[in-house]
Amino acid sequence: MESRGDRRRKQVYLEADQDEELSRLALATGRSESSIIREALGEYLVKQRDKSEATPHPLAGLLEMEFQSAITDGSERHDRDLYATPRTRRRANKPDGRKGCVADNAPSPDSPRLPEGGARP
């Protein structure tokens, strides 16, 4: 007899033919239907785990890649790097003297704000 251990209740729906075959197998082996299902599920999960470890997700390699970048403030100014088009980006010294990618059309900190609607006076 199996020990109960730390088991959790699950409810599943079986096809009629699966249910009949499971009942016949339980009677023939003297085991409970639950123990047969647990054994089958355990074997299936091990097989799937081994399969997934053998063939990792195609994007998993991205997590291991190393990138070199001159951008040192990407977390602070990510909008600039994400939304500036390649044409509007340029390499330049920033106002504080650091090097990095800045947008040509990005306003400087001391530039006046545009009036409502965005039209220049």
| pLDDT single digits (tens) 50-81 | 887 777 777 777 777 777 777 777 778 778 77
**56 alpha carbon, distance to own chain's centre:** 13
| pLDDT single digits (tens) 7-51 | 899 999 999 999 999 999 999 999 999 999 999 999 999 998 888
Q: Are 74 and 81 in contact (CB under 8 A)?
A: yes
The domain ranges of the chain are: 16-58, 69-103
**pTM for this structure?**
0.44
